[in-house]
Amino acid sequence: MNDLNPERGRISLDDLLKANKEQFDKVFASQMDQSGLLAVDHRPPTGADLKSAGLASSPANTENPVDVAARLNARYGSAWSSEILEHSSERGSVTVLCKLVVDGVSKMQFGSARANGDPGKALQRASDNALAKCAAMLADEAPDAGSVPEPGAEQRRRRPALAEAGDPRQAAAGGKLDIVTLDLIENALRNARHEMDAVLFRSAMSPVIREQHDEYPMITDPKGRMIVGQFGSYVPEMLKTQNFDLEPGDVILQSDPFKCGGAVSHINDWLILVPVFFQGALVGFTSMFGHMMDVGGPVPGSMPTAATSIFGEGLRIPPIKLYEAGALNQAALDLIMNNTRTPEMNYSDLMAILAGCRAGEKRVIELCERFGPEVYAQACDALLERTERAMRKLIVQNLPTEPQSFEDYVDDDGCGNGPFKMKLTVWREGEHAYFDWTGTAPQAPGPINFYLHDGMFKMFIGVYMIMVFDPQILFNDGFYDLIHVTLPKGSLVHPDFPAALGCRTHALSRQFDVLGGALSHNAPDMATAAGYGSSPHFLYSGTDKDGRNFQLMEILYGGIPGRPIGDGMDGHSWWPLFENIPTEYLETYYPMVIEAYGSIKDTGGAGLHRGGNGIEKIYHLLAEGDVSIHDDRHLSQPWGILGGKPGAVSEKWLIRKDGDKSPLPSKIDNVRVRPGDRIVFCTAGGGGWGDPLERDPTWVRNDVARRLLSGEKARGEYGVVLDGAGLTVDRRASQDLRESMRRNRKSLPLFDFGERRSNRLN
């Protein structure tokens, strides 16, 4: 092996963080202070606006600029937008190039201002200066350049020409929504939702958001109903605890699950909510939340496995205005950043989340400008109704009329307690679906509790049913009125305050296994087996040889269950949009070498469609520090279905530099490691689907050739005999072996749970 030591000549992540923070400070934070500059505050003109002088008189004194945004609002209403194309700072002055667009006509001008120690305000003044020059150019071209016209006159003067050109704003002026316009708005919103992701991924600095995509975007209507996104219906609950008077430029931040009804499920998730205004009216919200690397508390990463209350996990942020009318609440930001071990990284991620919300806000405003706010509102309602109609059909087709129950277990809570039962009963009455968690274990003393908001669980149901039965359906809140959820208070899925929540992802992921099992009674041929049913986390923190502090959190993946349409995927995320952190990233920015990362042979359950294999990742650690591990499925196997076999359980090992090897529990904090030590992290496989003896022998041979399956398991569970090299199927011997295995086995169960083991470390 060549020299893979990342400590030699590696780029400092600290330097990147500082550079990113400076960029945010100079550009993004200052833009937030510009109430109308980015076309996010296009309000109706006020009396003061109408008394303002004409825009033709450009201000010469850039130190005391006029209210350019107000004057643009007075002249053009909502028909203008602006953009900063370039900016620079040199010799104490800030210079910008701005573009002003009015009804499709654009002008560009430079503006400048003295910094006087505050580059943010200087950027605003320079932008005002440039925009005033652009406006003067437009006014010189207009017939009435010397006066301020009646509000809206400029738009009315231009509209006949626009209408002749087929401008869609004219088509929408009558307030009627047609199918073509609906499809245009739907696809624009879909793209806006992904643009929010793209902005965040390119701006965030933590690997858990930038690389793994542990974040969730949303665009809603004014009632807070999700139109596009991943997590819905939390806006009303979130705002209910704080009666905010919302206005343009406001930004709300919060992270406390108990203060928002479970909108986020642990305090590492920081949630941003931006109200979107058009012509002074609230037209919706954009929102995102993402996992922060550290939010305080006794353990780096802020997810202690031994926590017994949320007070022992870190800083809880109630819903607060981070920005009010465009003004940053600096004191609140300072307090928050003072309570994290990774303030620069958290700052970058927080502002990146906000930038993503601003991108969605901009696209919503553009849709309102293009089609009119009335048509946009009608389209939002129509998209919700469309999803509702589709979900009605899925409910009738796939849910039982008689209640069907299923239960599975979370192995332990990290504090020596467990297992914890999760029980779900499912049925339908007409086109309405009912999901009842009665019978689920009481809340755990340790931090595996999942504070499940009923709207969030409805979203999980929607994700499951849409992805399994009809992935083309737009995922939004339209079907929520069709779903009825019972969440017993004080239970594992709805704990009482102040229950610890830091390791709640094990219950979160296990609920998909329980949901799939409950639905399988009615349509087993359409159901899946159980997956790795956990959310494996690896955390590593310490000080490198150069004296720099480092902190890493990585989410690992496992075996996806066998499915009606094919095999489960090997080493894949149970959440569809999560991604892997590249090894090159880890070895560049952290003191480690990844010695192995691949599928573990034979860990997927056998079946007509086999379960996906778990993965093994070996971390060779190069600096002294502490390791924490979160995982589950180390005692209970992921079950198989329709004759499929269960998947293998998870395992963790610590191998010291001297070769001493010892097992680690699935949940543990502060494992002290030294240079040369290794952590072997093995995740669980997925359960198999269908009779293994019905699997095509060629598929079995291919799995052996790809080192996904051993020859022994090919023979013992699939009845496939291979030659000595494992390259050729002995079909006669395989046929005889399979017939013998069928004669001697018991009838195939609907579910095969395998062994429910006692704690293997005791």
- What is the SS3 assignment for 359-395? HHHHHHHHHHHHHCHHHHHHHHHHHHHHHHHHHHHHH
Mean of pLDDT over the chain = 84
In whole angstroms, give the CA distance from residue 276 to residue 365.
8
Q: Band of the pLDDT at 120, cuts 50, 70, 90? A: low
The answer to which of 60-64, 161-165, 299-303, 490-494 has the lowest mean pLDDT is 161-165
Cα end-to-end distance, the chain, whole Å = 38
Residue 609, CB-side half-sphere exposure with 13 Å CA sphere = 21
Least confident of 56-65, 456-465, 653-662: 56-65
Residue 713 has what pLDDT?
96
Between CA 529 and CA 604 the distance in angstroms is 11
- pLDDT (tens digit per residue) in 200-256: 999 999 999 999 999 989 999 998 889 998 776 678 777 776 678 899 999 999 999
pLDDT range class, residue 16, cuts 50, 70, 90: low
Cα–Cα distance, 485 to 482 (Å, whole number): 10
Please check whether residue 639 is in contact with residue 568, taking contact to mean a CB–CB distance below 8 angstroms.
Answer: no
The predicted pLDDT at position 720 comes to 96
Q: Which pLDDT does position 113 carry in this prediction?
A: 82
The b/e string for 187-213 (b: 16+ C-beta within 10 A; e otherwise) is: ebbeebbebbbebbbebbbbbbbbbbb
Q: Are strands 483-486 and 432-436 parallel, antiparallel or unpaired?
A: parallel
Task: Kindly give the residue spans of alpha helices, DSSP state H, lying in 142-254.
Answer: 153-164, 168-171, 179-203, 207-210, 235-240
Tell me, what's the pLDDT at 24? Answer: 63
Give the pLDDT score at 317. Answer: 95
CA 218/CA 10 separation, integer angstroms: 37
The band of 19, judged by pLDDT with boundaries at 50, 70 and 90, is: low
**Proportion of the chain above pLDDT 70, given as a percent:** 83
Query: With bands split at pLDDT 50, 70 and 90, how would you rate the model's confidence at 167?
Result: very low
**Which structure tokens are listed for 513?**
């296994």
Please report the sign of the dihedral spanned by the C-alpha atoms of residue 451, residue 439, residue 467, residue 632.
positive
Report the candidate in 222, 377, 376, 358 with the shortest Cα–Cα distance to residue 284: 222
Burial of 179 from C-beta contacts in 10 A (0-12 / 13-18 / 19+): exposed
Residue 452 pLDDT class (50, 70, 90 cuts): confident
Give yes or no for a contact between 692 and 752, defined as CB atoms under 8 angstroms apart.
Answer: no
Judged by average pLDDT, the poorest of 2-6, 110-114, 596-600 is 2-6
- Of 7 and 129, the one with more pLDDT: 129
Q: Is 361 a residue whose pLDDT tops 90?
A: yes
Write phi, then psi, for 638 (nearest 5 degrees): -65, 120
Going by C-alpha positions, the residue among 665, 595, 596, 605 that lies closest to residue 630 is 665
pLDDT for 166 equals 36
Mean pLDDT of 164-191: 70
What's the confidence (pLDDT) of residue 23?
Answer: 64
Q: Which pLDDT tens digit goes with each residue over 57-106? A: 333 333 344 477 777 877 777 678 888 877 776 666 778 888 888 877 77
Is pLDDT of 472 > 80?
no
The per-residue pLDDT for 124 is 79
pTM of the model: 0.76
Confidence band of 260 (pLDDT split at 50, 70, 90): confident
The whole-number pLDDT of residue 667 equals 96
Q: How far apart are CA 303 and CA 630, in angstroms?
A: 9
Where does the pLDDT of residue 112 fall: very low under 50, low under 70, confident under 90, or very high at 90 and above?
Answer: confident
Q: How many CA atoms lie within 13 A of 507 on its CB side?
A: 36
Q: What is the pLDDT of residue 236?
A: 77
Q: How far apart, in whole angstroms, are the C-alpha atoms of residue 70 and residue 132? A: 11
| pLDDT tens digits along 487-520 | 999 999 999 999 999 999 899 889 889 988 998 8
**Structure tokens of 515?**
């949901």
pLDDT of 700 > 90? The answer is yes
Percent of the chain with pLDDT over 90: 59
For 300-334, b/e burial (b = at least 16 CB within 10 A) is bbbbbbbbbebebbbbbbebebbbbebebbeeebe
Average pLDDT over residues 524-530: 87
> Residue range 690-705: average pLDDT?
96
Rounded to 10 deg, the angle between the 68-76 and 119-141 helix axes is 30
pLDDT at 622 over 80: yes
Is residue 44 over pLDDT 90? Answer: no
Contacts of 704 (CB under 8 A, 6+ apart): 710, 711, 714, 722, 726
Rounded CA-CA distance 314/447 in Å is 13
Q: What is the pLDDT of residues 677-692, one digit of tens each?
A: 999 999 999 999 999 9
Compute the distance between CA of residue 131 and CA of residue 689 in angstroms, rounded to an integer. Answer: 64
Which of 472-476, 504-508, 637-641, 712-716 is the least confident region? Answer: 472-476
